[in-house]
Amino acid sequence: MEGCGKFPVGTEFEHLDAIYGFNWDFKNLEEALEEGGFLHGKKVYVFGFAEPQHFKHIIHVPTVNVIDSTIEPSNKVAIASIQSAREETITMKEMRMGWFPLHSFTRKRQTS
């Protein structure tokens, strides 16, 4: 799914090139959203972030969470800082974030 792992929330800018260095495949999500897929026609919310994994070196793996819900998820975000060892809860608006419609990539393909 084009752009699905493009904007991982909470990932430091210096790690973005490392994420983009791999050809990440979200085909399973594409298929679920396509006609006949188990998420097709449902109101879903998608939230992407990068999960650091330790191998021989750290690899930031883009992860996409999909929420299938009839109501919009919370507009609050918890921010945990390892450096300050505390957690802060703020609104998504304060972070210039929000829940927006995910326009189907199939619709995009049809108009291309």
User: How many domains would you assign to the chain?
Assistant: 1
pTM of the model: 0.61
List, for residues 28-56, the tens digit of each pLDDT value: 888 888 899 998 888 888 877 777 776 67
For residue 107, being part of any structural domain is answered with: no
List, for residues 1-13, the tens digit of each pLDDT value.
555 556 666 677 7
Residue 8 falls within a domain, yes or no?
Answer: no
Q: Which domain holds residue 24?
A: 13-102
Residue 2 lies in a domain: no
Torsion sign across C-alpha atoms 93, 98, 63, 57? negative
Q: Is residue 48 part of a domain?
A: yes
Closest alpha carbon to 26 in 13, 39, 16, 14? 39
| Assigned domain for 31 exists | yes
Q: Please tell me the predicted confidence (pLDDT) of residue 58.
A: 75
Query: For 73-83, what is the mean pLDDT?
Result: 81
